[in-house]
Every structure is written in structure tokens, then in C-alpha cells.
Structure 1
Amino acid sequence: MKRTKSSRQTQILAELDSSPSLRVAELARRLDVSTETIRRDLDELTTQGLLNRTYGGAVRPLSSEPSVTERHRLYVEERQRMARAALKIVGDGSVLMIGSGATTVHVARRIAVEMKNITVITHSFGVATVLAFNPTIKVLMLPGDYHASEGATVGVHTVSFLGNFYADYAVTGASGLAADGPSEALLECGAVYTAMVARSAKCVVVADHSKFDAIFPSRYAPWRDVDALVTDAAPPDKLAMALRQSNVELVTAS
């Protein structure tokens, strides 16, 4: 029995509640309709402000993102590949700044396995925890207000403390990747990432394909301040052009 458009779109929103990022092909399979039908549904729901269209799918609306615990369950294999690719870039660093997020924790886990005798400055408890397995890595935990859903410290004290340090690399995640730069759903985390980028010689952004063309409130850096983007798929044309124009190294860990 074919679903009505209303029931189909209700089901799409229900799926979005349990999985914060949806792919067109997967939705078409689940709902037994064509990908063209799903794209029309997503366009209508976007117009209504109920979701945001991305390259190949949809995400939750602007400024809405699941907790870091939820995000850890998504794109695990992709993030593992991205982490290995990121290590090839930052592996020569001796001081790193690492932002919060699910993907950056994967990067930190690879750092704990492959690097030694370095210093990592972070506001993420998840990053600090996985680095603790390597006793040769010195972890400097940033002070600040604890943000429970992100598992990280944020606020004026966090940003101010960062001003005392320099790093070889800043490694940050992103809620969205648009033509004018990476953005973050949490304003407080965006402020921390901006400070990390400013205090580091180079910046590496690690973010999966579900972030393509998504825009969130805090654009924490223009692409000209980013040295490399590590992702798991080729970005859409507009984003790819913006990366080329800003001389951002694109590393696709596919």
C-alpha cells in the first residue's frame, strides 16, 4: 500500500529524530519510493523549516544537533578512515590543539596509537580520555564551564586560557561545511574553535559528508584560515570551488 505524501513526510521527520543525518537513497529504500520523490519531500520540508537539505540527504534544522554521545554512533567506519588520513597531516606536530566532537575523538585515538612525546591542548573530555592511554602524551585540559551535551569546557575562561599558547596544528570538527567556511551548532564551541585556529600555525578540519552544504550559527573560520579539510566523500561543486579558491588541501578518505 502506497503512503500518502503527508504520512511519508511524517515518517521522514520521525526517522530524523532517531538519526540526525539522512541519505536520500536510504530513505527511498525504506519508504519504497523513488529518490526523486524523496528529494521533493525534503525540499518541501526544508521550505517549512523542518529540516535542512544537504548534499545527498538532510540534517536537523539550523542550530539543532544531537549530543556528542549520539554522534559517536554515526559514520564510525568513515571517521576511522578520516582519522588515519588526518594523522598523515599532523603527524609531524609537537603541540596540537584539538576541539570537541565525535570525529576529533577518532583522530585523538589514532594520535594515542601513532604519536609520542607531544603536547595536546583540548577542551574535550572525550579527547583527553582516549589520549590518556599513551603516557608519553602530555594533555593540557582547558578550564571553563562544562557543556554536558558536548562533553567539553566552553566559555570566556576557555577562550582566554588559549591565548597563552601556540600550537603547530589545530584539529577541529564542524557541524556544517558551506562555501564561506566551517560552522558550528554551538556558539560556545565555535568561539573555542576560532581561538584554536588563531593560535595555531595550521588548521585541519575533519568532518564527514553529512556536513556538506549545512549551515549553523557559528562560522568559526573562513576557508582562507583553514589549511586542510579531511572528509570521506567528494564535496559538491560550490563547496569544492570555495576550497580551491582558498587553497585548502582536500583529503578524501574514501
Structure 2
Amino acid sequence: MKKPKSIRQERILTELNQAPSLRVAELARRLDVSTETIRRDLDELTEQGLLNRTYGGAVRSLSTEPSVTERHTLFVAERERIARAAVQILKGAQVLMIGSGSTTVHTARRIAVEMKNITVLTHSFGVATVLAINPTIKVVMLPGDYHATEGATVGAHTVAFLSGFYAEFAILGASGLGPDGPSDALLECGAVYTTMVARSARTLVVADHSKHDRLFPARYAAWSAVGDLVTDQAPAQALRDCLDANAVRLTLA
């Protein structure tokens, strides 16, 4: 069971996703705790790289994202629900491409439990590791330069290798879900995801609600190239309109 501090800090990050910045006093009022407690939380979250402190408050960075190891500690229950829902969409597929990220690792773990006799191409060491519990799943690890904070291979070799394969699904996470499509904080990963989209018959994006209405440098696909989005909360109307206009099937976990 999550500790109250962990739940509170997730709430702080969620609140900061809804507003450009928030004052300490306002956060204390919304979470019904003391300003001293909020300041300690903000200091811890700043040390983790999840936000930036300002005079009297905090802002959530829109251009950076914490390492994949740090992201694994956030929204765990939500990501597990997303993973369960995503696997239902994948039933019957034989060849998958899976991108890096915390939600895709949760999805890969669920794939390992529920699917068999499939081939998975991935550049994520976390994805490959959790798939290894199922001996019927063949994992093809993509070559490339190792990106330590993401735990994945990237670069020209990764992209070139992918170009020799086709898959039924590309399963991808996102740092942000904006009006023009999903985006990622890392340009190098964005290039790999774009190639996975191009080499797959369908694209499935898995992302929790903290990614809604956020923009990052690498938009790796237009919504018109995405078949399914699995998330844990309904998007705001503007984002929902973009999904509807591009016939993206929305699944709420």
C-alpha cells in the first residue's frame, strides 16, 4: 500500500500538470496539509528532477523528464490498469515493436503473462528483461548507442535495423499528449518511435493522465498515424476532439 507521502507527491505533480505554476499556500490548501509539509515535498521532488522550485512555489518542467528509473515509482496502479487494457487490444498479434518507458515496461510485463509464441522487437532493456519470464516469447534487442537514463538503445544503427522488419503493432509511451500527437522529451527516442510507427500496421500509445495536454520537443507521430490510445482518465475536451477527428480509439483503464 502506498504511503501517504507518496500519494501526496503524486497529487502535487498532477496539480502542476493542470497549471503552469502553483504557490506553496495553494498546494497546501488543495492537499489539506501544512505549508511546511508542502515545502519538504517540493524539495524532494526537485531533487528527483520532477519539478523546478520557484520563489514561494513550483513549476513542472515541460521540456525535461526524469529518468526511466524514477518514473517507475509514479502512477504504478494506473499504469498497471493501462497495461491490462492494452493487452486486450493486442490479442492475436504475432509480432510487436515496443518502445522504452515506464508504462511500456508495465505493458510488456502483462504481455509476458498473457501472451505466448510471439516475437518482440525492442530497444528497451527494461522491456526485454520483463519479457524474459516467458520462454515462448522471442525478444529481438535492437542495436545502437546506449542511453543510460532511458535504459535503451538509440541512434542511426537502431533506426536502420528497424527498417528491415514489419510488426502488427508498435506499442509506445509518451512524455506528452498534445493536439498534434504524442511527443517525447528525448529527441533520440523520438526518432526510434517514429520508425516503429512507420514499420507497424497499427500504433498503440499507452500513457497515464499526467501526460495529457503536455508538449515535448520530439513529436514522433501525428494522431492520424495512431490507432489506439489507452490511458487512465478521460482527456480534456480539446484533446478528445483531436482524437475523435483522427479516429483514434480511446480506451480508459
TM range (shorter): 0.7 to 0.9
Q: Would the aligned equivalents of 1:68 and 1:151 in 2 still touch at CA under 8 Å? A: yes
1:22 equivalent among 13, 29, 36: 13
Aligned length: 215
Aligned counterparts of 1:92 and 1:198: Cα–Cα separation in 2: 21
Runs of 5+ in structure 2 lacking a partner? 1-5, 16-25, 36-50, 53-57
Please state how far the C-alpha of 1:134 moved relative to its aligned partner: 0.4
Q: Deviations over 1:96-132 (max 9, x none)?
A: 0000000000000011001110000000000000000
Aligned counterparts of 1:150 and 1:79: Cα–Cα separation in 2: 18
Aligned counterparts of 1:166 and 1:247: Cα–Cα separation in 2: 23
Runs of 5+ in structure 1 lacking a partner? 1-14, 34-49, 52-57
* Alignment-derived partner of residue 227 in structure 1: 227
Q: Deviations over 1:39-92 (max 9, x none)?
A: xxxxxxxxxxx87xxxxxx97323210000000000101001000000011121
Aligned counterparts of 2:104 and 2:226: Cα–Cα separation in 1: 16
Aligned pair in 2 of structure 1 residues 210, 164: CA closer, same or farther (>3 Å)?
A: same
Aligned pair in 2 of structure 1 residues 30, 68: CA closer, same or farther (>3 Å)?
A: farther
Aligned counterparts of 2:179 and 2:145: Cα–Cα separation in 1: 31
1:124 aligns with 2:124: yes
Q: 1:1-254 residue pairs with structure 2 within 5 A?
A: 22-24=13-15, 28-29=30-31, 60-253=60-253
Please state how far the C-alpha of 1:139 moved relative to its aligned partner: 0.2
* Alignment-derived partner of residue 48 in structure 2: none
Aligned counterparts of 2:129 and 2:104: Cα–Cα separation in 1: 12
Aligned counterparts of 1:20 and 1:135: Cα–Cα separation in 2: 39
Give the secondary-structure state (helix, strand or coil) at the position aligned to 1:22.
helix
Give structure 1 regions of 4+ aligned residues with deviation exceeding 6 angstroms.
Answer: 18-21
Aligned pair in 2 of structure 1 residues 117, 188: CA closer, same or farther (>3 Å)?
A: same
Aligned counterparts of 1:241 and 1:59: Cα–Cα separation in 2: 27
Aligned pair in 2 of structure 1 residues 125, 20: CA closer, same or farther (>3 Å)?
A: farther
Aligned counterparts of 1:92 and 1:31: Cα–Cα separation in 2: 49
Aligned pair in 2 of structure 1 residues 26, 191: CA closer, same or farther (>3 Å)?
A: same
One-letter amino acid of the counterpart of residue 144, structure 2 = G
Aligned counterparts of 1:140 and 1:66: Cα–Cα separation in 2: 27
One-letter amino acid of the counterpart of residue 203, structure 2 = C
Q: Would the aligned equivalents of 2:112 and 2:134 in 1 still touch at CA under 8 Å? A: yes
Q: Deviations over 1:120-171 (max 9, x none)?
A: 0000000000000100000000000000000000001001100000000000
Q: Would the aligned equivalents of 1:20 and 1:60 in 2 still touch at CA under 8 Å? A: no
One-letter amino acid of the counterpart of residue 70, structure 1 = E
Give the secondary-structure state (helix, strand or coil) at the position aligned to 2:13.
strand
What TM-score results when the alignment is normalised by the length of structure 2?
A: 0.81
Identical pairs, percent? 65
Aligned counterparts of 2:122 and 2:107: Cα–Cα separation in 1: 13
Aligned counterparts of 2:246 and 2:59: Cα–Cα separation in 1: 26
When the two chains are superposed, the root-mean-square deviation of aligned CA atoms in Å is: 2.1
Q: Would the aligned equivalents of 2:12 and 2:27 in 1 still touch at CA under 8 Å? A: no
